[in-house]
Amino acid sequence: MWDVNAVSAAVYRALKAYRLNDADARDICQEAWLELLRVPGALRDEAKLRAWLTTTARRRALRLITRNKRETPQPPPGPETTPEAEVVRAERDRALWAAVDRLPDVHRRLMWLLAHRPELSYAQLAGELGISPASVGRLRRRCLDRLRRALEVGGWA
């Protein structure tokens, strides 16, 4: 049948790209297996078990990340960084991610992927989002337009 340990290890490795801690990655891997058991018929082709579990786990990881409070990595302060500039930067980052939180789900996921996984191609982005690769450019443009308008309304023009 299935080598559960081997498939779980592959799903776990795929989750490491999301920079989750070990406990969260293992929990999400287990949740993907439980989802398979909860939804009879979800897996139409047993040969695609690994892909199905990986996709399910990636979607759960994105949901976990968007639920968690956003914290952007802070660059080490340099000699040119003033306390005032740090406050403005932190407030700008907070306003940006607050505006992202108000976007529709697919836009939030796209923004997270663009910010945290810039190496992804349009085809890979499409796979992560479950959309056509031809739609990624239009979705990105609509998302950034909405985000720009939201920030302008907030005084961040």
CA angle, 23 then 76 then 79, to 5°: 170
**Same domain, residue pair 54 and 108:** no
Q: What is the pTM of this model?
A: 0.48
What CATH number has the domain bearing residue 125?
1.10.10.10
- 141 in any annotated domain: yes
Verify that 63 and 8 share a domain, yes or no: yes
Instruction: Give the residue from 23, 24, 95, 97 showing the smallest Cα distance to 61.
Output: 24
Domain region containing 137: 83-153
Q: On the CB side of 44, how many CA atoms lie within 13 Å of its CA?
A: 0
Q: In the predicted model, is pLDDT for residue 70 greater than 60?
A: no
CB 37 within 8 A of CB 80: no
> In total, how many domains does the chain have?
2
In this predicted model, which residue has the larger pLDDT, 112 or 80? 112
Residue 74 lies in a domain: no
pLDDT range class, residue 138, cuts 50, 70, 90: very high
Taking 60 as the threshold, does the pLDDT of residue 10 lie above it?
Answer: yes
Residue with structure tokens 């660059």? Answer: 75
